[in-house]
Structure 1
Amino acid sequence: LDRAEALTVDQSQGRDVEVAFVSLAAALGGAGNQGAAGEERRPSSGALSVLEDRRRLNVALTRARSKLVVLGDPRRMRDTQALQTALEEMDTKGAFVRKDAVHRHWIKKGSRFEPEADRYHLYVSLACPWASRCVAALYLKGLDKAVGLSVVHPTWQRTRPDDENDAHTGWAFASPDDPPKKSTTGFNSIDCEGCIPDPINHAKFVRDLYELANDTGGKYSVPVLWDKKEKTIVNNESSDILRMFNRDVCHVAHEINEWVYPNINNGVYKCGFAQTQEAYDEAFESLFEALDKVENILSSNRYLTGSQLTEADIRLFVTLIRFDEIYVVYFKTNKQRIQDYPHISNYVRELYQMEPIRKSVSVLHCKRHYYTSHPRLNYYAIIPRGGEAWWEESHNRDKM
C-alpha cells in the first residue's frame, strides 16, 4: 500500500499511470504481510488501523484515476504531442469554438482532382454527425457506386499504443469479426458491429491517413475524402464534401444553414463542452430558441425550405436524430426532447425512413462513441440504455 500510494502521487511527466494501478492491484491481492513490491508490511492492529488503510487506499485510487485522465490532457503534454480533440477547442470564457478543417481541395473538371469513378474513397464514423451527413448525401445521390466507403469503430483508441509518450486517442479501423475494443480507461467492451476496414491503405487508425498525407497537426478527424490516385487527402471538411456530392445549390437552404449550424449543429457541442456556467447558459438558450424556430417552420412547411428536400434538411437531421439518446443526457440539453416537438419529431421520422438516409444512421454507433470516448465526461464508459426508437414510428408528413 505504501508503494502504491507513492506511485499515484508521483507527478513526474511521462510516468505511465497504469503502473500505479498494477501496484494497487498487487497491494489489494497480496497475502499476509507482503506489500506491493514484496517488502515486509507493518501488521495491521485493530479496527482503527484497518480504517486508516482503507482511507489511504481510497485516496490513492482517486489520485490514480485523476492522473490517468490528466495524462490525456494536452495541457500536460509537450506541444508536439498535443491531443487535439473537441475538448481542447475553447475560448477564454470556456466556450467551445470549433477549428476549421485544413484540407479544402475540390473535385472538379480541369483540377488536380478530376471527377472519376472509383478514384475516391470516403472514410467516416457513423457516430459523427458531420461525417454522417456526407454518407447520407452519398446514398441520396447514388454515388456509393462510384465512391468507396470505410466505417471506423465508434470507440476512440490509443493511436500509438506502443509509444508511452504519445497519448493521442482517436478513430480506429476494425472488421466486424475483430475482438471487442475497450475504452481508453479500460472500461466496457464494444464489439465491431457495423465497422468497415480500410481496403485502400490498410490503415489501422485515421491518424495514419493524415500522416500518409504529411499532416501531423494532431486533429485527425472524419470525414476524410481520399484520392487513391494521388494517395492523399482531398478534403476533410464535411460541408465541402456535402456540396461536392450535391451540386444542386439552394440559396434559401444556405440562409437556413447560417443559423442552424452555430445554434443547433454546433450548439449542442457548445453546451456539452462548455467549461463555464456562462458559456453553457448562453449556448443552451440559443439552442432552444433555434429549435423553437424550426418547430414553427415545420408547422407549415414539409421541409425547411418548403416542399423540396435540400441539404439544409440533411444538416439539421444528423443533430436531431442524436438529440434524445445522447445530447439530452450527455451534453445537458435537457429543456425538451426532440420527441416532445410535434412537428420536428414527425419530420425526423420521415427523413429517417427514407432508405438512403437510414443507411447513414447508426444510433448504436452514436451512443457507443459518445459514452465511451471522452474519459473526462464519462470515465467508466457506461452507456445509457435509452428509450423507445420513436423515429421508427409512422409519420404523416406526406399529407402536407
Structure 2
Amino acid sequence: MILRYLTLLAALWIMAMPATVQAQNGPLRITIDEGVIEPLPFASPDFVAENTAATQLAADIARVVAADLTGTGLFREIPKDAFISQITSFSSPVQLADWRAINAQALITGAVSAGSDGRLTVKFRLYDVFAGQELGSGLQFDGTQAGWRRMAHKVADAVYSRITGEAPYFDSRVVFVAETGPKGDRKKRLAVMDYDGANVQYLTDSSSIVLAPRFSPSGDRILYTGYETGFPKIYLLDVASVGRQVLENQPGTMSFSPRFSPDGQTVVYSLTQGGNTDIYRMSLSGGAPQRLTSAPSIETAPSFSPDGTQVVFESDRSGTQQLYIMSANGGEPRRISFGPGRYGTPVWSPRGDLIAFTKQSKGRFHIGVMRTDGSEERLLTASFLDEGPTWAPNGRVIMFTRETQGAGGESSLYSVDITGRNLKRVRTEGGASDPSWSPLQN
C-alpha cells in the first residue's frame, strides 16, 4: 500500500499541484481537489536500547526521526498513548495487527547500542502495516555518540525516500548570516547549522559585515562577501579549519555575489568597475578572470545550471530587474521573466527543472519558481520582505529570508515546499538571513 502511495505522491510533487490523500480499504488514492494533502499516519516507538548506555540516545534518535518526517507536512505521527503494543526487541516478530488497529500505515522500529569507546550503532526497519510486510531491507548505521543527530537524520532520510520516492535531504547543513542587535546597528557573522537549526557553529566574528554565504558542491568550503576593508570582496572559507583567503581582483574594483560551479573548481560572481557591474568567472586554480557580460547595465546574482553549461542571473538591461540565461562562457543572454514586477536572486534547482527567484510586485515580496524557459511561474510566498531562496539537496524544499516590518523588524529563516505548502519558520537562536543549503553530507 505504501508503495502505491509513494508512486502517486512522487507524481504529485512533480506536478506541484495540491491534492488530498485518503486511506481506503483498497489502494491509497490521491484526489486533486481543495488543495490539502492528508498526511500519512505513521508510528515511531522509541528505539530499543540494547545496552544501558544507549537508553537516552534510543529515545532521542526516535524523536528526531519523527520530527524530520512530520516537518515535511507529508506525515502525521500517531501519539504513543494510542499504541496497543510496544516494541521491546528489535529481533522479535512485530504484531502488525496491533498497529493496523490504530491506523498506522507505516511503522518504524529501531535499536541502538552505545559502546564505552564512544561509538554508536543504530539499526532500523520500516513496515508497510496494511500490506503486512517490511518495506525494503533493514539498515544499520555506525558512528559516534556525538554524531547521534546525524544518524537520526540518516534513518529519517531512508524512511522518507522509501515512502515518497524522492531523494533525501535531512542529513544536510545550512550556512547563514546570524544577526544580533537593533535594526539600525545590526551585527552579522557567518554560522552553519544542521538543516533543522541544531548544532550551530560560528565561522566568523561580528567585526565586519558579511553577506551571501554559498556552500561548495562538496560542502567543505564556503564563498561569501565581506567588508573588512570597507569595500566588498569575495572570501573563500574552509569549514573544517575556518581558515580563509581573499579572492583578489583588480585594484579599484568591488566583487560580490559569488557562487561555485557544479564541480567546485570555478567561481562566478559580479564585479563593479568604473560604475559598471558585470558578471565574471574565475578558476580557483589560478589564471585571469573571464568577463561574461559587457552591457551598460547592472548584472548580478549569477547561478550555474547543474550541468555547468549555463548561468542564470538578474539584469536591469530592459529597464527593470529581470532574469536572463546565458552560456557559462558568456554570449548573448535570453530573457526568461516577463510577469509584472521585478525579479532577482535566481537560483537553479539541483534537479535542473526549475529556477527559484525573489519577486517584488505591488508592494509585496514573493519567493517563486518557474521553468527554465520562464513558463509555469508560481509564487509560493508573500510578505513584507521575502528574499534569497536556496534549494534543499533534493530540489523539493526552498529556504529563504523573511524580514518583519517596522523599526523592530527582524530577519528569520523560513522554508516552503515547491507546491507552496508547509510554510514554516526554521529554528534559530536569533535573527538570521542569507541561507545556503549544503549538499547531503558524506
TM surpasses 0.5: no
The answer to which structure has the higher strand fraction is: 2
Give the TM-score normalised by structure 2: 0.24
Tell me: higher relative CO, structure 1 or 2? Use CA pairs within 8 A at least 6 residues apart.
Answer: 1
Give the TM-score normalised by structure 1: 0.26
